[in-house]
Structure formats: structure tokens, C-alpha cells
């Protein structure tokens, strides 16, 4: 069996909702079975040209293999069965969790630095302040980018319909655009860190720009990948 045929089978299974690990394992097992049959036929003295045809008959047609796989619902991935949850709700929850983790770490570092400030050198104090600033940046920007980017990567890997991940990325971008925050911690470490969520009609342009800044670097590469790989955005129903 040539590689192009095996890749086509894998692609069909992925687009039909079979989990990547199951799809690739099944195709590898099919390859191994075909190789075993070919070796058996050649050992029996059957010419190579005839062996290929006999092996194809014993292995069975591709359609039968695909039907057999799709007849087993336990092989379908959670993402293909619940795309709304996997690529719309979970990215939002991931963004919130990552932001909360960053903010919690920021508070812990800042409180520790304030407590031990008398024993810290100026370089260590500045380092603690820089770490807090990095954690604040992570909560505000890296967390939503990571959540949205991971959703795109998983959707591409599992050939999920693009509409779900696009909706998820837009929701993450919208939520981030509605979050306002400030980091004002001088070298004395006695400043303020604030984060809040809100929206006002007069700030619509600013909100739109924030959303675009997050959505564009995540969604554009994903859309380019879809186009370059010609991945179907609508999955057939079974």
C-alpha cells in the first residue's frame, strides 16, 4: 500500500470524526496487515504482480475499512461529538483559568517581595517587579492567545469544522477586549494592580481594536492553514 493511499484513508477518518490516535493506529495496523499478507503470498511463490491483487482482496476495499471504523462510535473523539463545548466553551474556560493562575502568581510574588523587601537587594527587588509585570502581561495577553491558539491547533489536528473554532476565538477575543487592567507598581513595591471587566458604547472602537489585536494573530494563520491544506469546513453526517 502506497503512502498516498494511507494518508488519504487517515484524512477520511479524521474528517469523519475519528479521534486522531485511533485513526492513525488503525491505518498503521492496516499497513502491517497488508505487509504480512504480501510476505505470506511471496513466501508461497506467488509472483509479485499477482500477490498485490490477492493481497488487496484479502485486506478488503478502502470503503469497507472506513465503514467498519465509522460503525464504532467509541472511536469518535470528544471534540467531534461536542464541538461547541470543545472549541467554544473550553477556550473561554482555559483563558479564565490561565489568567487566574497568572494573577494568583503575581499576587504571591508581590506579597513575598513586599514582606522580604528589607532583606532584598535592589537588583532582586527590580527582578521581582519585572516578574510581576510579566505575569500581568501574561494574564492580559498571553493567556487569551494561548487559549485561542490551542483551540486552533486541536481543531486543525482533528479536522473540526472551522465555524466552531472561529466562534471560540471570537468569544475569547471579545472577552479579552472587555477586560481592563492596570499595573502600577514602582520600585518601592507599594503600588496597585487592578483588573476588571466592563463595556461602554463610547469605548466601542477601543474594544474592537483590542479584540482584533488578539484575534488576528491567531485566526489568520489558522485560516491560511485551512486554505493551504484544503481542509473541508463542513463534516459529513453519519
pLDDT in tens, 48-97: 778 777 877 888 888 888 889 989 988 999 988 999 999 999 999 999 99
Q: Cell numbers for 166, please give them.
A: 472561529
165 near 149, Cβ under 8 Å? no
DSSP H helical segments within the chain, as ranges? 3-15, 20-43, 48-59, 62-70, 78-81, 83-84, 90-115, 122-137, 143-158, 162-177, 204-229
In this prediction, residues 145-165 reach a mean pLDDT of 92
Owner of C-alpha cell 459529513: 236
Q: What are the C-alpha distances in Å from 132 to residues 145, 184, 203?
A: 19, 10, 28
Please say if the pLDDT value at position 233 is more than 50.
no
How far is 116 from 61, CA to CA, in rounded Å? Answer: 71
How far is 127 from 113, CA to CA, in rounded Å? Answer: 10
Assign 140 a pLDDT band (cuts: 50, 70, 90).
very high
How do residues 156-175 score in pLDDT, each as one tens digit? Answer: 988 888 999 999 999 999 99
Cβ-in-10-Å burial (0-12, 13-18, 19+) of 47 comes to: exposed
**In the prediction, which pLDDT does 199 show?**
76
Task: Find the angle CA(78)-CA(81)-CA(82) to the nearest 5 degrees.
Answer: 80
pTM for this entry: 0.79
How far is 109 from 132, CA to CA, in rounded Å? Answer: 7
Please say if the pLDDT value at position 111 is more than 80.
yes
Amino acid at each position: 500500500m502506497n503512502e498516498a493511499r494511507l494518508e488519504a484513508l487517515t484524512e477520511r477518518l479524521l474528517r469523519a470524526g475519528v479521534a486522531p490516535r485511533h485513526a492513525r493506529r488503525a491505518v498503521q495496523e492496516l499497513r502491517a496487515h497488508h505487509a504480512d499478507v504480501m510476505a505470506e503470498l511471496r513466501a508461497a511463490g506467488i509472483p509479485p504482480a499477482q500477490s498485490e491483487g490477492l493481497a488487496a482482496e484479502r485486506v478488503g476495499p478502502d470503503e469497507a475499512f472506513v465503514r467498519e471504523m465509522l460503525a464504532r462510535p467509541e472511536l469518535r473523539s470528544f471534540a467531534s461529538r461536542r464541538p461547541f463545548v470543545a472549541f467554544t466553551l473550553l477556550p473561554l474556560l482555559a483563558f479564565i483559568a490561565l489568567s487566574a493562575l497568572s494573577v494568583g502568581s503575581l499576587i504571591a510574588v508581590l506579597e513575598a517581595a513586599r514582606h522580604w523587601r528589607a532583606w532584598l537587594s535592589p537588583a532582586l527587588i527590580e527582578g521581582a517587579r519585572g516578574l510581576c509585570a510579566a505575569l500581568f502581561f501574561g494574564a492580559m495577553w498571553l493567556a487569551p492567545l494561548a487559549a485561542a491558539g490551542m483551540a486552533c491547533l486541536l481543531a486543525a489536528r482533528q479536522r473540526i469544522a472551522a465555524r466552531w473554532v472561529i466562534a471560540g476565538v471570537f468569544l475569547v477575543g471579545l472577552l479579552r477586549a472587555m477586560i481592563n487592567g492596570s499595573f502600577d507598581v514602582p520600585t518601592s513595591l507599594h503600588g496597585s494592580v487592578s483588573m476588571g471587566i466592563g463595556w461602554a458604547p463610547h469605548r466601542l472602537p477601543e474594544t474592537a481594536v483590542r479584540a482584533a489585536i488578539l484575534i488576528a494573530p491567531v485566526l489568520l494563520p489558522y485560516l491560511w492553514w485551512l486554505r493551504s491544506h484544503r481542509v473541508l469546513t463542513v463534516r459529513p453526517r453519519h
